[in-house]
């Protein structure tokens, strides 16, 4: 059973491997956390916030590189057997683990991600066709920038509406307002927000 969720991870992420696939995972996860360690014999260029531990990984020394405060492990080694050993240990110890290009031993999958500030849209085919997820993400990237502007408009107003029964009705009036829509499309967030507060005061 695969359930799409948003995880609140505060502890360390450990990535085994330093090749292209591992680096893509570093880039993906770096959008959300800086607490990342990469374990590999060598690695491509890494961001400064990533801890690099040079080591030759075997099935016997895996545990040495997974500290107690680990929240997520990525197995991205060229040796599939060791990747599976990593996944087996993590699954037995209730640690989230992703084996790249192999959904069976993974208890967490990475969707294609379209991100703009605090607006995140993920697309997943449950591991059946990541290529399609990426293509859909490219389409979404074309319009997510404009849509993310709405978050700046609606978020502060929603805070004032918490607990009110007609919260969504007020937000809908703001979202459907032609003048606000025009300002948001033009990127004029300041005036769009002013107009949104005017609508808020009328309908709250």
Give per-residue pLDDT as tens, 170-191.
999 999 999 999 999 888 999 9
The superfamily (CATH) of domain 12-110 is: NAD(P)-binding Rossmann-like Domain (3.40.50.720)
Sequence spans of domains, the chain: 12-110, 137-203
Least trusted range by pLDDT, from 32-41, 46-55, 163-172:
163-172
Partner residues linked to 40 by β-bridges: 54
Question: Residue 40, Cα to own-chain centre: how many angstroms?
Answer: 24
How far apart are alpha carbons 62 and 190 in whole angstroms? Answer: 52
Mean pLDDT along residues 78-107: 93
Q: CA-CA distance, 98 to 83, in Å (whole number)?
A: 9
Average pLDDT of the chain is 88
């Amino acid at each position: 059973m695969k359930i799409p969720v948003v995880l609140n991870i505060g502890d360390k992420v450990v990535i085994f491997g330093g090749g292209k696939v591992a680096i893509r995972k570093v880039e993906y996860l770096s959008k959300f956390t800086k607490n990342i360690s990469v374990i590999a014999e060598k690695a491509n260029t890494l961001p400064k916030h990533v801890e690099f531990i040079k080591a030759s990984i075997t099935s016997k020394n895996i545990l040495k590189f997974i500290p107690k405060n680990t929240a997520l492990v990525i197995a991205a080694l060229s040796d599939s057997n060791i990747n599976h050993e990593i996944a087996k240990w993590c699954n037995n110890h209730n640690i989230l683990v992703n084996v790249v290009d192999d959904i069976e031993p993974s208890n967490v999958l990475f969707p294609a991600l379209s991100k703009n500030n605090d607006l995140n849209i993920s697309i997943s085919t449950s591991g059946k066709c990541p290529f399609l997820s990426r293509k859909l993400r490219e389409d979404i990237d074309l319009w997510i920038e404009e849509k993310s502007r709405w978050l700046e408009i609606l978020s502060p107003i929603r805070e004032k509406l918490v607990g009110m029964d007609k919260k969504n009705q007020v937000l809908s009036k703001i979202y459907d307002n032609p003048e606000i829509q025009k300002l948001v499309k033009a990127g004029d967030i300041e005036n769009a927000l002013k107009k949104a507060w005017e609508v808020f005061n009328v309908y709250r």
